[in-house]
Amino acid sequence: MPSASSSPSSSSTDRIERSVDIKASVDRVWKALTDHREFSQWFRVNLEGPFVPGRTTKGRIACPGYEHLVMEVEVVAIEPMRLFSYRWHPYAIDSAVDYSKEPPTLVEFRLEPTRDGCRLQVTESGFDRIPASRRDEAFRMNSGGWTEQVQNIAKHAQA
């Protein structure tokens, strides 16, 4: 199986950045990012519909132990072969909490071609605006989550 390398690019209290070099074309990785069916496979969620700028899509999480949760994202931008972004409520796992009252974070996926394929840069920002009572845990959990997810998309796109 082709290999992928990833690294934390940098972090602060407000943003998480991860990058991965993927041995697949920009076109291939773009499809894995923006086709809701492919995104569902590597992200482990069952999205109900396509990504459309200005619209919300949602779906049930498919990770063991989290199947009772629904992921909901509002698509911000789709700039073909370059940028896909959405807003969501990070680590929104307590079904008794109304996260809609909190400011969302912004997740950006940026692609650039490389000699052997492409580099995917993932940035999630806006953690400093999350309520202090859950900010650190949301940051910690999403930090680990993005480390895993960049590997998931790399494996998916290179398969």
Residue 11 has pLDDT above 80, yes or no: no
**pLDDT (tens digit, 9 = 90+) per residue, 100-144?**
999 999 999 999 999 999 999 999 999 999 999 999 999 999 999
Question: What pLDDT was estimated at residue 95?
Answer: 84
Question: What pLDDT was estimated at residue 6?
Answer: 52
- Would you say 29 and 120 are in contact if contact means Cβ atoms under 8 Å apart? yes
CB atoms within 10 A of CB 136: 12
**pLDDT (tens digit, 9 = 90+) per residue, 23-60?**
999 999 999 999 999 999 999 999 999 999 999 999 99
Domains, the chain: 5-158 (3.30.530.20)
Question: What pLDDT was estimated at residue 12?
Answer: 79
Residue 4 has pLDDT above 60, yes or no: no
- What would the two tokens of residue 70 be? 């629904």
What's the predicted TM-score (pTM) here?
A: 0.92
Cα first-last separation, the chain: 7
DSSP string, the chain: ----EEEEEEE-SSEEEEEEEESS-HHHHHHHHHSHHHHHHHHTEEE-S---TT-EEEEEE-STT-TT-EEEEEEEEEETTTEEEEEE-TT---TTS-GGGSPPEEEEEEEEEETTEEEEEEEEE-GGGS-HHHHHHHHHHHHHHHHHHHHHHHHHHH-
Residue 3 has pLDDT above 60, yes or no: no
Question: What pLDDT was estimated at residue 133?
Answer: 94
Q: Report the distance separating Cα 140 and Cα 158, nearest Å.
A: 28
Question: What pLDDT was estimated at residue 24?
Answer: 98
